[in-house]
């Protein structure tokens, strides 16, 4: 099968289009013929080697974390899916590889595709949808009437998280450029801050939850918009000791990550708020709940551009510019 692979970590390198063997199928796996694959900033960062200590893939490996396609074969113990099913998934870490014609995925990571979405639209959902779900529902326990600040509202996670928070009944603030104001207001944002003109730290206060996706300076400033007892959830780092423990990292890496997050954890504690780092995980049951929300019309995909499979490197480069509004998708079939 054709696939785009990482041969070496390189900030300016490209993926190689290669002939790779069709995935081997385990007893609990489904073999998916890939119709479309979402492209994420995580893909860009993995290609550069930014996550090589905590995600030690053996090169060459196939990149890609979002898939929508058709089940063509199932393992002997699979009960939820059958050949012909239209599905989508975020394959678990260690088994990524959606920039390819086929991928084997554990059935626990898979959900039926929303019937009202195209394959390309469905492929835009899994990683950002699960990130928003795990941050706002699992980690923050966001409730009706609470206030949440979602940074970078026009990005992939932001466009989904705003809609999910609106569905939950929260009041939502976000940061975007002026050109994206109408987009995020249409998704449900109540307070929209032009980050080029205004400082969110001086505009917002008394918030229950902050979903941080920006740099260390923004993370620290985010503490000041939270009320006592608030929750600061970061998907851009720094990783904390709980993450290191859950990933089963060795003692050296645990110590490094503890030191990296020490300053923000101390500052959060002094302010009476809770800091946590979220590195989303594959979860088919949560994705099925997201399917229900999409089919009910509570959430819609926001797709910026669709690239042909041959232009996968161009799609990845576009993600790296940080200019995408919503998601970027590769059409494989």
Distance of alpha carbon 41 from alpha carbon 231, whole angstroms: 24
- State the pLDDT at residue 12: 83
- Encode pLDDT of 197-210 as tens digits: 999 999 999 999 99
Distance of alpha carbon 247 from alpha carbon 271, whole angstroms: 28
- State the pLDDT at residue 297: 98
Say whether pLDDT at 36 is over 90.
yes
Say whether pLDDT at 307 is over 90.
yes
- State the pLDDT at residue 196: 94
pTM (whole model) above 0.85:
yes
> How do strand 29-39 and strand 207-212 relate by DSSP bridges?
unpaired
Q: Which residue ranges form the domains of the chain, and what is each CATH number?
A: 2-125+301-331 (3.90.180.10), 127-277 (3.40.50.720)
Largest distance between two CA atoms of the chain: 58
HEC letters along 131-151:
HHHHHHHHHCCCCCCCEEEEC
């Amino acid at each position: 099968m054709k696939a785009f692979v990482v041969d070496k970590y390189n900030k300016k390198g490209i993926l190689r289009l290669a002939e790779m063997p069709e995935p081997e199928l385990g007893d609990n796996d489904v073999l998916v013929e890939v119709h479309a694959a979402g492209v994420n900033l995580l893909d860009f960062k993995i290609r550069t080697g930014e996550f090589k200590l905590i995600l030690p893939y053996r090169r060459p490996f196939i990149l890609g974390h979002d898939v929508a396609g058709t089940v063509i074969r199932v393992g002997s113990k699979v009960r939820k899916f059958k050949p012909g099913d239209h599905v989508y998934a975020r394959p678990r870490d260690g088994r990524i590889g959606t920039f390819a014609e086929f991928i084997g995925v554990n059935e626990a990571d898979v959900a039926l595709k929303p019937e009202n979405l195209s394959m390309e639209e469905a492929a835009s959902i899994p990683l950002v949808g699960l990130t928003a779900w795990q941050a706002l529902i699992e980690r923050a326990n966001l409730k009706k009437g609470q206030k949440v600040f979602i940074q970078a509202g026009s990005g992939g996670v932001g466009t989904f998280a705003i809609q999910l928070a609106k569905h939950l009944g929260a009041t939502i603030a976000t940061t975007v450029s002026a050109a994206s104001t109408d987009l995020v207001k249409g998704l449900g944002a109540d307070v929209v801050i032009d980050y080029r003109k205004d400082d969110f730290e001086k505009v917002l206060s008394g918030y229950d939850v902050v979903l941080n996706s920006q740099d260390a300076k923004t993370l620290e400033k985010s503490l000041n918009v939270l009320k006592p007892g608030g929750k600061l959830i970061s998907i851009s780092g720094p990783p904390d000791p709980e993450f290191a423990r859950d990933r089963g990292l060795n003692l050296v890496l645990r110590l490094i990550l503890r030191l990296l997050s020490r300053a923000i954890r101390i500052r959060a504690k002094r302010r009476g708020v809770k800091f946590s780092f979220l590195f989303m995980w594959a979860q088919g049951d949560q994705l099925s709940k997201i399917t229900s929300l999409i089919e009910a019309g509570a959430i819609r995909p926001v797709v910026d551009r669709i690239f042909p499979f041959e232009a996968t490197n161009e799609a990845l480069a576009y993600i790296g510019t940080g200019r995408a509004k919503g998601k970027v998708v590769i059409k494989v079939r």
